[in-house]
Amino acid sequence: MNLISDPMEPITAPQGEFIRLDSVLVADDDAISRTVLESHLRKWQLNVISAKDGLYAWHELQKENAPSLIILDWMMPGISGVELCRRIRERKSNHYPYIILLTARDDKQDLVEALDAGADDYLTKPFDANELRSRLRVGSRILSLQNELLKKEEELRFEALHDRLTGLWNREAILNFMDREIARGKRSGDYAGVLMLDVDHFKSINDNHGHLTGDAVLQEISRRLTGGMRSYDWAGRYGGEEFLVLLCNCNPETMAMCAERLREAISSEPIRVGNLELHVTVSMGAALTSADCRLDRDEMIGRADAALYRAKHRGRNCVEICE
Pick from 235, 229, 233, 247: nearest CA to 174: 235
Report how far residue 271's alpha carbon sits from residue 267's, in angstroms, rounded to the nearest whole number.
9
Residue 115: Cβ-neighbour burial (10 angstroms; 0-12, 13-18, 19+): middle
Q: What are phi and psi of 278, to 5 degrees?
A: -110, 125
Q: Is 241 a catalytic residue?
A: yes
Report how far residue 186's alpha carbon sits from residue 167's, in angstroms, rounded to the nearest whole number.
30
Q: What are phi and psi of 183, to 5 degrees?
A: -65, -40
Pairing type for strands 234-239 and 242-248 reads antiparallel
Residue 169 is given by DSSP the state B
| Candidates 154, 241, 260, 323; catalytic one | 241
Residue 166 is given by DSSP the state T
Report how far residue 158's alpha carbon sits from residue 155's, in angstroms, rounded to the nearest whole number.
5
Catalytic residues: 241
